[in-house]
A and B are shown apart, each in its own frame.
Chain A
């Protein structure tokens, strides 16, 4: 018992802070992803040809390349002095794209998540029968009105389940940012620091793993509550029929 308390006292201050960073990173990256993903999905479904192509290219690029490559590109690649020189030539600050590890991490995770979220939202929008849009337009609604009042309220409900996957993935994906060596490390970064001084990976790895597990289970639980709460009587049936 005493050993357990000692272990706790040894790891918790650092892991607790790490957990805070991980949660903040996840929430911010998911928010960035949402802000990018939703319009991207709308562009892919309703956009002009060029807009659709642009959105598709973004989604394919970000989903088709490893997150770690994206992270390194944004952190190390964009800091290339040649790029800085280019900026200087047009009168912009030379270090405009020399990002802090935290900014780079947020940008990479957010851009990556945006691509995945766009696909989830697109799937949900396309699952709504075309008759819904037709009926809305027949009433005299503009396309935008139809999207806002008829399509999105239904699509967003359908998107909750895949979105909660994305949230769960994100919490775990944030662990890759330890490679950038944040000043305030994330949960895994903090665990790594502890392991490098105490060589106790057989204890630390399961312990830190179960912290991720608890967080993910909490997210899954909250999202399924949300889904139940927003469920429309009969909607699932309608969608299955289509």
Chain B
């Protein structure tokens, strides 16, 4: 049996009258990179938020690293520490330096000694090429630098899975590349990643699987080559056509 680092089974979530997730199931292996695409409002972000319980699913089960996180008495904060999250609008802590942003998780949540956390933070900032900005405040960074700092902050918790919720959507076009570069490096280092994005170049180059979601369901999934060149469903074809028109072909 394959080793699944993340299992999602029959996930349902309803907001008022709106059923955002209609029974989503998903198995992810250690080191896999999944790209989730689909029109807005189809539950992509909700799915990610359920996986670290920022949103509580109404029904269904989720296992992370063999532990059922949807169990009634699961240690929610402990689980969140194992699942890194990167947001569209960065959400760096504005009153802390970049270094403190990265240190605060290990220090507050894992009770890591300051010195050790300091070293770890510098190491993680090195991974995103931001050591020279360690003592800057988020307000002094460009969007791309902010997002890289946010990735370092998530990495410092040594997560089993990284969730990226449209990590480049709030960035100026010329800053997208540097963030994608960092994400590609992570993928090569076999970090398990779930990425909601419209960056098809990234999807083609580094993802193992692409999931096309619409109206709360996974319509189609498969390796990028299959989805891009031989989509089974008409809807997938239409959507990919539109998105390629908007965002261009994958640059090679």
Contacts and interface: CB of A to CB of B under 8 A. Distances in A.
Question: B interface, how many residues as a size bin?
Answer: 20 to 34
Interface stretch (B24-32, B73-81, B232-240): B73-81
Interface stretch (A13-21, A101-109, A233-241): A233-241
A135 interface: yes
A98 interface: no
Given A150-B93, A154-B94, A234-B94, A137 B80 contact: yes
B153 A139 contact: yes
A213 B61 CA distance: 65
Contacts of B153: 135, 139
A131 B108 contact: no
Contact of B108 (A129, A141, A154): A141
Interface string B77-103: 111110111010111111100000000
Contacts of B105: 139-141
B70 interface: no
B80 A235 contact: no
Interface in B9-43: none
A137 to B, nearest CB: 6
A200 interface: no
B104 to A, nearest CB: 6
Interface of B is mostly: mixed
B138 A234 contact: yes
B77 A234 contact: no
Contacts of B140: 233-234
A150 B100 CA distance: 11
Contacts of B93: 132, 135-136, 150, 154
B139 A232 contact: yes
Interface residues of A, number: 25
Given A140-B81, A141-B109, A237-B139, A131 B95 contact: no
Interface in A45-66: none
Contacts of B85: 135, 138
Contact of A139 (B89, B109, B138): B109
A131 B154 CA distance: 15
Nearest to A150: B93
A14 to B, nearest CB: 46
Interface string A144-157: 01000110011001
20 contacts: A129-B91, A131-B87, A131-B89, A131-B91, A132-B93, A135-B85, A138-B84, A138-B85, A139-B108, A139-B157, A140-B79, A140-B80, A140-B109, A145-B108, A149-B108, A232-B94, A233-B139, A234-B94, A234-B140, A238-B139
Given A134-B54, A234-B94, 16 more contacts: A132-B93, A132-B94, A138-B54, A138-B80, A138-B85, A139-B81, A139-B157, A140-B79, A141-B108, A142-B77, A145-B109, A154-B95, A232-B94, A232-B95, A233-B139, A235-B137
Please list the 5 inter-chain residue pairs (A to B) with the smallest Cβ-Cβ separation, ordered nearest first: A234-B139, A140-B81, A135-B91, A131-B91, A138-B85
Interface of B: 52, 54, 77-81, 83-85, 87, 89-95, 104-105, 108-109, 136-140, 150, 153-154, 157
